[in-house]
Amino acid sequence: MPDARTHPLVVDAVPAFQDNYLWLVHRDSMAIVVDPGDAAPIEAALQRIGASLCAIVLTHHHPDHTGGVAALADARPGIAVYGPIGEHIPGVTVSLSGGDRVRIAPLDLDFEVIDVPGHTRGHIAYFTEADGIPRVFCGDTLFGCGCGRLFEGTAEQMQGSLARLAALPPNTLAYCAHEYTLSNIRFALAVEPDNAALQGRALDDGARRERGEATVPFRISLEKATNPFLRWDSATVREAADARIANASRSPATTFAALRAWKDRF
């Protein structure tokens, strides 16, 4: 039997609902799914690629990320369901927190768990360098040129979470759960209209969407150059925050909070 390491890991986006991406990660005939909000498109994708599901991986409790868990697990008694220890998600069999490691042996895949609270209280992300390619599955914490809303956490928590993601290797591919990039770019241009990298991204990602292509995954290096929610140290971003709320730039967390409040009303 061929060694699994000779076959590349593949990550497929499975569209669902209006703008969700459910991530199917597979090697040869084995697969895992990240944040299966709906079971039906995952079952169809598994049949299409001829793979068996060996684990379910969850970042947080929202229904568009967990809605398909019961159906997928009921059809596969005993399957491992990984999720955050800080949230109650029915069906989770292995609870995780930051610093934990997950081994998915059939895919020769190891994850490091990163705590990223803010969007929800116990949100986690999964980082891997399988096949020499750094990847992070970040749920609704980091989006293309944006970030998640603060439903349960604080601005301080979310800014810290984004800082942890920003500290990953610059070539890390980030797999978020929604196609929000173009609307986020419009906001980012309001914050930094003269950012040349951002202007270029607007053209590139706009062309991708016109061709029907996803803007996800994206590299952490691109986010640090264009995403205002990761640019709290930029003078132009701090000035823009101060223009909205007096003294917003006194700390990274207050700069972030001003930007998030602005985006919520944008």
Q: What pLDDT is attached to residue 186? A: 98
- Burial of residue 199, with CB atoms counted within 10 A of its CB: 0-12 exposed, 13-18 middle, 19 or more buried: middle
Average pLDDT, the chain: 96
Percent of the chain with pLDDT over 70: 98
Is 26 known to be catalytic? no
Task: Give the model confidence (pLDDT) of 24-57 as tens digits.
Answer: 999 999 999 999 999 999 999 999 999 999 999 9
pTM: 0.95
Q: Which of 26, 61, 123, 178 is catalytic?
A: 178
Token pair for residue 24? 């199917």
Q: Which of 26, 28, 35, 62 is catalytic?
A: 62
Domains of the chain: 4-227 (3.60.15.10)
Write the CB contacts of 179 (distance below 8 Å, at least 6 apart in sequence).
19, 21, 144, 214, 215, 216
Q: What is the distance between the alpha carbons of residues 252 and 238, in angstroms, rounded to a whole number? A: 9
Average pLDDT over residues 184-192: 98
Task: Give the model confidence (pLDDT) of 85-104 as tens digits.
Answer: 999 999 999 999 999 999 99
Q: Is the pLDDT of residue 4 over 80?
A: no
Q: Which of 64, 115, 123, 205 is catalytic?
A: 64
Q: Which of 26, 60, 61, 123 is catalytic?
A: 60
Q: In sequence order, what are the beta bridge partners of 174?
A: 136, 218
Task: Give the model confidence (pLDDT) of 208-258 as tens digits.
Answer: 999 999 999 999 999 999 999 999 999 999 999 999 998 889 999 999 999
Residue from 130, 132, 98, 221 nearest 168 by CA: 221
Q: Which of 26, 61, 65, 123 is catalytic?
A: 65
Is 3 known to be catalytic? no
Token pair for residue 175? 């797999």
Task: Give the model confidence (pLDDT) of 124-171 as tens digits.
Answer: 999 999 999 999 999 999 999 999 999 999 999 999 999 999 999 999
Is 65 known to be catalytic? yes
Q: What pLDDT is attached to residue 1? A: 36
Q: Which of 28, 35, 115, 119 is catalytic?
A: 119
